[in-house]
Homo-oligomer: A and B are copies of this chain.
Amino acid sequence: MKTIYKVPSAITSRDTTYCPGCTHGVAHRIVAELLDETGLTKKTVIVWPVGCSVFGYYFIGTDALIAAHGRACAMATGIKRVHPESFVMTYQGDGDLASIGIAETVHAAARGENITTVFINNGNYGMTGGQMSPTTLIGQVTTTSPYGRKPELNGFPLHVPEMLATMDGPAYIARGALDNPQHINQAKKFIQKAFTAQQKRLGYSLVELVSTCPTNWKMTPVESIERVKREVLPIFPLGEFRAVKGVE
């Protein structure tokens, strides 16, 4: 028999600390697969965020740091500027990247910083217990939008790729999802292109991944997956928003 899928070697032996069915783990695996495939593992530094993936360095076996909440892109910039030969990635949640860290993200993008961001959008602050985030949907109940997110009070979900795609700095910007095999394969392709962008020094690359948070959505993992398709993807459409020449 021929092995067609196997847990990548960039994944450590440590079990994840994520809740059952949380798709953070899927994102980890596709990143690790790409590290294996590109042979980048030993050149890579991952800047982990504050959020449920704060323990990410337990699971992906590269040099690693944890940035202050929201500052991953700034920290990654510091590393990349002094060690341009290192492969530098940030892995960030929607609270981390789109709320407290939006300035660092926008400016890393505007500068065309040669770093890659994997952006896990699960529509709330998982780690702190499910508060509203910039990507929470209208009407969604969270622990800080107990009456549902209201546009007149809390505004509208933030579309980070669409926003960054208006700039000249980013080389590659896309949005994928982790809810089914097809989307997962597509997401992997997107991240692979983002890796290429960095390796070719074409500028900033970011891939948003629509993810789940069964625990705080108060749903089973399967219900969460269904919610993504039914409610989230219509608001956060998948696709590539910017890809400069040379990204493939």
Q: Mark contacts of A81-109 with chain B using CB atoms, 8 A cut-off: 1 yes-contact digit, 0 otherwise.
A: 00000000000000000011011001100
Query: Contact partner of A163 among B103, B134, B154, B167, CB < 8 A?
Result: B167
User: Can you list 30 A-B pairs, Cβ within 8 angstroms, ordered by A?
Assistant: A99-B107, A100-B103, A102-B102, A102-B103, A102-B106, A102-B107, A103-B103, A106-B106, A106-B158, A106-B163, A107-B134, A110-B156, A110-B158, A112-B152, A112-B155, A112-B156, A151-B168, A155-B168, A155-B169, A156-B167, A156-B168, A156-B169, A157-B168, A159-B166, A162-B166, A163-B163, A163-B166, A163-B167, A165-B166, A166-B166
Nearest residue (CB) in B for A204 is B155
Nearest residue (CB) in B for A241 is B166
A residues near B (Cβ < 8 Å) are 99-100, 102-103, 106-107, 110-113, 134, 151-152, 154-159, 162-163, 165-169
Q: Chain B contacts of A165 at CB under 8 A?
A: 166
Q: How far apart sit A125 and B151, CA to CA, in the bound complex (Å)?
A: 35
Q: Chain B contacts of A113 at CB under 8 A?
A: 155
Q: How far apart sit A158 and B106, CA to CA, in the bound complex (Å)?
A: 9
A26 nearest CB across to chain B (Å) = 28
Q: For the complex formed by this chain, how many copies does it contain in all?
A: 2
Q: How far apart sit A165 and B162, CA to CA, in the bound complex (Å)?
A: 10
Q: Chain B contacts of A157 at CB under 8 A?
A: 168
Nearest residue (CB) in B for A70 is B103
A36 nearest CB across to chain B (Å) = 30
Q: Chain B contacts of A167 at CB under 8 A?
A: 156, 158-159, 163
Nearest residue (CB) in B for A203 is B155
A130 nearest CB across to chain B (Å) = 20
Query: Contact partner of A111 among B100, B103, B155, CB < 8 A?
Result: B155
Q: Chain B contacts of A151 at CB under 8 A?
A: 112, 168
Nearest residue (CB) in B for A154 is B111
Nearest residue (CB) in B for A155 is B111
Q: How far apart sit A46 and B163, CA to CA, in the bound complex (Å)?
A: 28
Q: How far apart sit A152 and B206, CA to CA, in the bound complex (Å)?
A: 18
With A166-B163, A166-B166 known to touch, is A134 a contact of B110 (CB < 8 Å)? yes
